[in-house]
Structure 1
Amino acid sequence: MNEASIPASTGEVTREPIHIRNIHFEGFRRSDGMFEIVGQLGDTKPYEFTPPGGLRVVSANTPIHDIGVSVVFDLEMVIHAVSTFMRAFPYRDCAGGGESLQALVGLRIGAGWSGEVRKRLPAGETCTHLREILIPLATAAIQAVNPLRAQGLMEATDANGKPLKINSCHAYGASRELVLQRWPAFHRPSSS
């Protein structure tokens, strides 16, 4: 994305770029039957920058952060392995900020993910930016394997027989057309 692709403010206000952050995810099916999601975060500035208390000067448009995490999981969304990479970071001690992510092995990606990540990865022991990547990484992982899990997810019900997919997002809200088409007995007209 560049400045030209972002809608400009109204009026005579001008803008000067001062920071660029990119977060990118890629999902993979592995030959060992597992799945892998890789998340990467990059920060740059269009001018020379010295991190506060830092011992180095970062040239304009050179990564301040170029870090990431790889999570290997099965079709049930259980994590089997975690690895991190740190190609660019502002402080020498940053390099050890990914070691704590091993606490995620055995965790299931799904409901309660964000809270569990925060609980298992104390801020003082974990790179803040790796923790940041992990929150949207969960939805990227789910999107990566959803086509393989779709039928089971669509058929799953609660103890009363109500499909779990209902009210799982806006499109599957009980008052929406998708619910009316697929599960008319559970459709609830909008109250507005």
Structure 2
Amino acid sequence: MTLQHDDITREEIHHRRIDMHGCRRSDGLFEATAFLTDRKTHDFQPPAARHVSASEPIHDIRLTIVFDSDMIVRDVSASLYAHPYEQCLGGGDALSALLGLRIGAGWNSEVRKRLPSSDICTHIKELLGPLATTALQTIYGLRKSRLDQRDGEGKPIKLDSCHAFSSERELVRRLWPEYHRPLSSEDRT
């Protein structure tokens, strides 16, 4: 496949597709599932691995986290439908180390502590960060609005949590004028 942008053509060599879904389950729990597929546009032979024909998946991975309304991991599983090396099949065995972990602040650093790189498939580990975000987005609309929540000092917890909620933005001026800090002319340059 050749891609054209402006005056530059590009020959596609590798295609990675990541798809994530969040669901409410009939048992009262929630789950977030990630699918990752890697393909090459040409035949590919990784060292000491299986031959992969053009457009055949090199990786085809499914990762699912089951969590409760408090964002506590209750189950986690991975399935590897396509992988380059025989040893890849054990790449999800260490995921049980995440059981009981709360999805939220500190998730990525705790994942790194609990899942050393030698114990987990790199691609599964890479998916855990955005999958946690998918889990949070899954339950977000079902929980009390975080716009009303305050920290111990009475500040809105969403304040300065992202670009839109920066204390310098118009949104903060409208929602919480007492916390709005307009950019000075020096800051704009």
RMSD over aligned Cα atoms? 1.5
Please list, as runs of the form range in 1=range in 2, the aligned pairs for 1:59-78 lying within 5 A after superposition. 59-78=53-72
Compute the displacement of 1:80 (Å): 0.7
Report what 2:176 is aligned to. 183
Please state whether the residue corresponding to 1:149 is helix, strand or coil: coil
Q: What letter is aligned with 1:20?
A: H
Compute the displacement of 1:15 (Å): 1.8
Among the aligned pairs, what percent are the same residue?
50
Q: What letter is aligned with 1:26?
A: H
**Partner Cα separation in structure 1 for residue 46 and residue 32 of structure 2:** 30
How many pairs are equivalent?
Answer: 185
> For the structure 1 residues 97 and 170, does the alpha-carbon distance in structure 2 shift closer, same or farther, using more than 3 Å as the test?
same
1:61-119 deviation digits (Å, cap 9, x = unpaired)? 01000012100111221111101111000011100110111111111111111111111
Report what 1:48 is aligned to. 43
2:158 to 165, 177, 181: 165
Please list, as runs of the form range in 1=range in 2, the aligned pairs for 1:137-152 lying within 5 A after superposition. 137-151=131-145
Report what 1:57 is aligned to. 51
Residue 85 of structure 1 pairs with residue 79 of structure 2: yes
Preserved CA contact (<8 Å) 2:46 2:84: yes
Q: What letter is aligned with 1:136?
A: P
Gaps (5+ residues) in structure 2? none
Please state whether the residue corresponding to 1:97 is helix, strand or coil: helix
**Partner Cα separation in structure 1 for residue 90 and residue 57 of structure 2:** 18
Compute the displacement of 1:28 (Å): 0.3
1:34 to 16, 29, 41: 29
Please state whether the residue corresponding to 2:33 is helix, strand or coil: strand
Gaps (5+ residues) in structure 1? none
Report what 1:130 is aligned to. 124
What is the TM-score of this pair, normalised by structure 1?
Answer: 0.91
**Partner Cα separation in structure 1 for residue 124 and residue 41 of structure 2:** 23
1:27-62 deviation digits (Å, cap 9, x = unpaired)? 1011111110001111001111111221x2111101
**Partner Cα separation in structure 2 for residue 94 and residue 184 of structure 1:** 53
**Higher strand fraction (1 or 2):** 2
1:117 to 111, 116, 122: 111
**Partner Cα separation in structure 2 for residue 19 and residue 46 of structure 1:** 6
